[in-house]
A = this chain, B = another copy of it.
Amino acid sequence: MDNKHIAIGLLGLGTVGTGIMHIITEHQHKLCKKTGLNEISVKKALVRDLEKANGHGFQSVDYTTDGYEVVTDEDIHVVIEVMGGITLAKELIEKALDQGKHVVTANKDLMALHGEDLLQRAKRNQVELMYEASVAGGIPILRALNDGLSSDQITKIVGIVNGTTNYMLTKMSKEDLSYDEALKEAQEKGFAESDPTSDVGGLDAARKMVILARLGFSTSVELDDVYVRGMTEVTSDDIDYGKKLGYTLKLIGLASKEENGAEVSVEPVFVPDEHPLATVNDEFNAVYVYGDAVGETMFYGPGAGSLPTATAVVSDVVSVIRHLRLGVSANALEDSSTTSLEISDERDVSAKFFVRLHAKDVAGAFESITAVFSKNNVSFEKLIQSPFEQGALAEVVIVTHETTRGDFDQTLEDLKLLDVVTSIKSRYRVEGGTADVLEEQNLALV
Using CB atoms and an 8 Å cutoff, list the residues of chain A in contact with chain B: 19, 23, 27, 30-31, 33-36, 132, 138-140, 143-144, 147-153, 218, 274, 276, 279-281, 291, 293-302, 305, 307-308, 310-312, 314-315, 317-319, 322-323, 325-328, 330, 332-335
A-B contact pairs, 27 of them (CB 8 A): A23-B151, A30-B153, A33-B218, A35-B334, A36-B332, A140-B144, A140-B148, A147-B147, A148-B312, A148-B315, A149-B311, A152-B315, A274-B279, A276-B280, A279-B279, A293-B311, A294-B302, A294-B307, A294-B308, A295-B302, A295-B307, A297-B301, A298-B301, A299-B299, A300-B300, A325-B333, A326-B328
Closest to A308 in B: B294
Given contacts A35-B333, A298-B301, contact A23 B319 (CB under 8 A): no
Question: Which among A34, A150, A330 has the highest number of chain B CB atoms within 10 Å?
Answer: A150
- B291, A302: Cβ atoms under 8 Å? no
Question: A318 contacts B35, CB within 8 Å?
Answer: no
Is A295 in contact with B301, judged by CB distance below 8 angstroms? yes
Which residues does chain B contribute within 8 Å of A330, judged by CB atoms?
322, 326
Q: Which residues of B contact A19 (CB under 8 A)?
A: 293
Quick check: B36 and A335 within 8 Å, CB to CB?
yes
Q: How far is the CA of A138 from the CA of B290 in the complex (A)?
A: 11
- The answer to whether B326 and A308 touch across the interface, beta carbons within 8 angstroms, is no
**Nearest B residue to A136, CB-CB:** B297
B308 touches A151 (CB 8 A): no
Shortest C-beta distance, A151 to chain B (Å), equals 3
Contacts known (A276-B300, A315-B151, A326-B323); A295 close to B138, Cβ less than 8 A = yes
Query: Are B147 and A143 in contact, with the CB atoms below 8 A?
Result: yes
CB distance A33 to B334 under 8 Å?
A: yes
Nearest B residue to A314, CB-CB: B151
Determine the residue in chain B with the shortest Cβ distance to A22. Answer: B293
Copy total for this chain: 2
Residues from chain B with Cβ under 8 Å of A305 in the complex: 295
Kindly state the separation between the CA atoms of A274 and B297 in the bound complex, as whole angstroms: 20
- A274, B305: Cα distance in complex, Å: 22
* Residues of chain B lying within 8 A (CB to CB) of residue A30: 150-151, 153
A152→B27 CA distance, assembly (Å): 8
Could you tell me the distance between the alpha carbons of A149 and B294 in the complex, rounded to whole angstroms?
22
Closest Cβ of chain B to A306, distance in Å, is: 9
Q: A33-B335, A151-B317, A298-B299 are in contact. List 10 more A-B contacts (CB 8 A).
A: A31-B151, A33-B218, A35-B333, A150-B319, A151-B311, A274-B279, A276-B300, A297-B299, A299-B300, A326-B333
Set B33, B140, B317: member contacting A149, Cβ < 8 A: B140
| Shortest Cβ distance from A318 into B: residue | B150
Closest to A310 in B: B293
Tell me which of B144, B280, B291, B311 contacts A143 (CB under 8 A): B144
The interface centre, meaning the residue of A281, A295, A302, A305 with most chain B CB atoms within 10 A of its CB, is A295
User: How far is A332 from B35 in the complex, measured between Cα atoms in Å?
Assistant: 10
Q: Of B153, B276, B328, which is within 8 A of A279 by CB?
A: B276
Please state if A294 and B138 are interface contacts (CB–CB under 8 Å).
yes
Q: Which residues of B contact A147 (CB under 8 A)?
A: 140, 143, 147, 315, 318-319
Which of A274, A298, A302, A305 gathers the greatest number of chain B CB atoms within 10 Å? A298
Chain B's closest residue to A305 (CB) is B295
The reply to whether A302 and B307 form a contact with Cβ atoms under 8 Å apart is no
Contact of A298 among B143, B152, B300 (CB under 8 A): B300
Query: Among A140, A153, A312, A334, which residue has the most Cβ atoms of chain B within 10 A?
Result: A140
Query: Contacts A295-B138, A308-B294, A319-B147 hold; do A334 and B36 have CB atoms under 8 A apart?
Result: yes
**CA A21 to CA B316, docked complex, whole Å:** 32
Distance between A165 CB and nearest chain B CB, rounded to angstroms: 19
Q: Which residues of B contact A139 (CB under 8 A)?
A: 297
**Separation in Å of the A395 CB from the closest CB of chain B?**
29
CB distance from A40 to the nearest CB of B (A): 10
A295: chain B residues within 8 A (beta carbon): 138, 301-302, 305, 307-308
